[in-house]
Structure 1
Amino acid sequence: MGIPNKIGVIVDSFQVGVREGLVKAKNVGADGVQIYAVKGEMDPDNLSTAQRKELKDYIASLGLEISALVGDLGGHGFQDKNENAWKIEKSKRILDLAVELGTNVVTTHIGIVPDDTNSEVYHEMQSACEELSRYATSVNAYFAIETGPERSAHLRDFLNTLSTNGLSVNFDPANMVMVTGDDPVEGVHNLKDYIVHTHAKDGIRLQEVDPRLIYGALGFEPLDHEKIAKMVTDGQFFREVPLGEGKVAWPAYIQALQDIGYTGYLTIEREVGTNPEADIAKAVQFLKQFK
């Protein structure tokens, strides 16, 4: 196909420290890396200006670049007005770090966008996302929402209510396949104005499931929380599998990305498995067949 996209890997998927993960990313043949920047050694509060420069120089010395940072603060995203003040502030600091390190994308989860556009939660999310969107645009960067919790058309309609495209999309085809049963090809076209980063992941949906059971939602408490959690971890609803072994139709999906003119990263995410390094190396080779 001759795809223009670079191939990235999430450093944290190797399950070693950042430095060792960077070397492993280089060794499996990646062009770039995505790094969690929420806590620990990559928390913006823990990195001085000098340390940021040193890290940026070290990544460059390996011949790598940063495709994005992960700024997912957990909880219910931006659904809870009591949590939003610190989350917005922290998100801005992660974006500042990203820009300093030479990338303009921070991926995040904002919580499930409610179907009821008149609900209080919808308006709280809208307010928080408007502030983040404006801030991102002010520094020529993007907060990229990961797809999965809601169908692509609903996410697009939500994004269309914001005044800038500083809030954009980190497209994850596997989340769509596994959780909402949405079609990634259709999703790419629905969200074509917003896709700034993607995750290369694959999966299988085993049974229909309420996304709130997977991602949680403010005020939503399943009847049997422990049972649901076990069903999620046991893979009774869906299963993440190595690239090419799931239900993501890769040739059609990559063609769709080409059709909308997406030239950004395909960044490999591996959240399960006992040998992530081998899985990631195979995933890099899988994606290279499209080049």
Structure 2
Amino acid sequence: MEIGVIHLLDTSVKGNMFQVVSEYGFHVCQLCGWDSELCTPEVAERVVKEAREANVRICAIWAGVPGPAEWNFTEGPVTLGLVPEQYREERIKALKGWADFAAWVGAPAIITHCGFIPENMTDPEYPQVVAAIREVAAYCESKGIGFWFETGQETPIVLLRTIERVGTSNLGINLDPANLVLYGKGNPIDALDTIGSYVRNIHVKDGLYPIDGDRLGEEVRAGAGKVNYPVFIRKLKEIGFTGEYIIEREISGEEQRKDILQTTNDLKLWMQGE
């Protein structure tokens, strides 16, 4: 179980783009890309070269999609992921591009948010969402890589139900326990009873439950929110999880750096059961 960090794919960086990862002392990262124009063999070649030089392994590609993205309860359902029909075609294309990129750089999977997947399985939109996810997942499967859902906008049972209906052999979950809290979708520890066998990576993030019907809860440093990390990690061990713990702190600047360093130390203690 290795500790790493989520890291933005940024070709404007002078020098080695993985230097920041190395400076934290990490040898693994999730590489996060939003600009699908970067999905080229040339960029992939640079990524492979610089990751090797920095001794950093890419444990997955976090794949962003074009178009609007509102991380809230009001516009979120009509802007996020593969759920909104008006953006679906271009987003399927973008995710296939990220699948190509992942294969070129040797990453085992792509990860994305699929959006506010309908809770009601009889919703007429639900089969279309499943079909869209299946198209991307099958393309990933043809490239020999996984398609992993990041938890967030859906409840654990909806995620399980959708995985079962998509039905490809390469499906997994990037479990962000904070997102289950921030969106009010469930308790991350209990969620492992439902989706634990599919968990491949963890986002180490924390948050508070929503207290306003229109807004997400507040993200906070890992250990300062409602995710009980010592218990969460213990249960992950019990179910046989051996993947990466990827630190994500959605702020910037010096406070982000300090929180990542503190979370690294805290994680080591939690993993030892202290």
TM beyond 0.5: yes
Distance 2:14 2:229 in 1: 29
Distance 1:153 1:47 in 2: 33
Q: Which one of 180, 184, 187 corresponds to residue 183 of structure 1? A: 187
Give the letter for the 1:278 counterpart. K
For the pair 1:239 / 2:183, whether they are aligned, the reply is: no
Distance 1:19 1:110 in 2: 34
Q: Which one of 158, 161, 164 corresponds to residue 154 of structure 1? A: 158
Query: What displacement does 1:151 show?
Result: 1.6
C-alpha distance 261-141 of structure 1, shift in aligned 2 (>3 A): same
**What corresponds to 2:72 in structure 1?**
none
**What corresponds to 1:64 in structure 2?**
56
Distance 1:84 1:13 in 2: 23
C-alpha distance 254-111 of structure 1, shift in aligned 2 (>3 A): same
For the pair 1:89 / 2:68, whether they are aligned, the reply is: no
Q: Indicate conservation of the 8 Å contact 1:12/1:18, yes or no.
A: no
1:189-222 CA distance string (max 9 Å, x none): 211232122211011125263xxx4xxxxxxxxx
Query: What displacement does 1:60 show?
Result: 1.4
Q: Which one of 239, 242, 245 corresponds to residue 260 of structure 1? A: 239
Query: What displacement does 1:168 show?
Result: 2.3
Q: TM-score of the superposition, structure 1-length normalised? A: 0.80
Query: What displacement does 1:175 show?
Result: 0.8
**Number of matched pairs:** 257
**What corresponds to 1:136 in structure 2?**
140
C-alpha distance 76-206 of structure 1, shift in aligned 2 (>3 A): closer
Q: Indicate conservation of the 8 Å contact 2:30/2:58, yes or no.
A: yes
C-alpha distance 18-163 of structure 1, shift in aligned 2 (>3 A): farther
For the pair 1:7 / 2:11, whether they are aligned, the reply is: no
**What corresponds to 2:74 in structure 1?**
none
Distance 1:13 1:284 in 2: 22
Distance 1:136 1:259 in 2: 29
**What corresponds to 1:49 in structure 2?**
41
Query: What displacement does 1:174 show?
Result: 0.5
Distance 1:174 1:272 in 2: 14
**What corresponds to 1:164 in structure 2?**
168
Query: What displacement does 1:121 show?
Result: 2.1
Q: Indicate conservation of the 8 Å contact 1:136/1:167, yes or no.
A: no
3-state secondary structure, aligned to 1:116: coil
Distance 1:88 1:208 in 2: 33
1:164-200 CA distance string (max 9 Å, x none): 1433211000111222251111112211232122211
Q: Indicate conservation of the 8 Å contact 1:146/1:170, yes or no.
A: yes
For the pair 1:126 / 2:130, whether they are aligned, the reply is: yes
Give the letter for the 1:25 counterpart. V
Q: Indicate conservation of the 8 Å contact 1:28/1:281, yes or no.
A: yes
3-state secondary structure, aligned to 1:248: coil
**What corresponds to 1:271 in structure 2?**
250
Q: Which one of 174, 177, 202 corresponds to residue 206 of structure 2? A: 202
For the pair 1:35 / 2:31, whether they are aligned, the reply is: yes
Stretches of 4+ aligned residues off by more than 6 angstroms: none
**What corresponds to 1:116 in structure 2?**
120
Deviates more, 1:16-25 or 1:110-119: 16-25
Q: Indicate conservation of the 8 Å contact 2:32/2:63, yes or no.
A: yes
Give the letter for the 1:110 counterpart. C
Query: What displacement does 1:51 show?
Result: 3.7
Distance 1:259 1:116 in 2: 32
1:224-257 CA distance string (max 9 Å, x none): xxxxxxxx4xxxx521111111111111111121
Q: Indicate conservation of the 8 Å contact 2:156/2:185, yes or no.
A: no
Deviates more, 1:178-187 or 1:250-259: 178-187
Give the letter for the 2:124 counterpart. E
Which runs of no fewer than 5 residues in structure 1 stay unpaired? Answer: 214-231
Q: Indicate conservation of the 8 Å contact 1:181/1:205, yes or no.
A: no
Give the letter for the 1:244 counterpart. G
3-state secondary structure, aligned to 2:193: helix
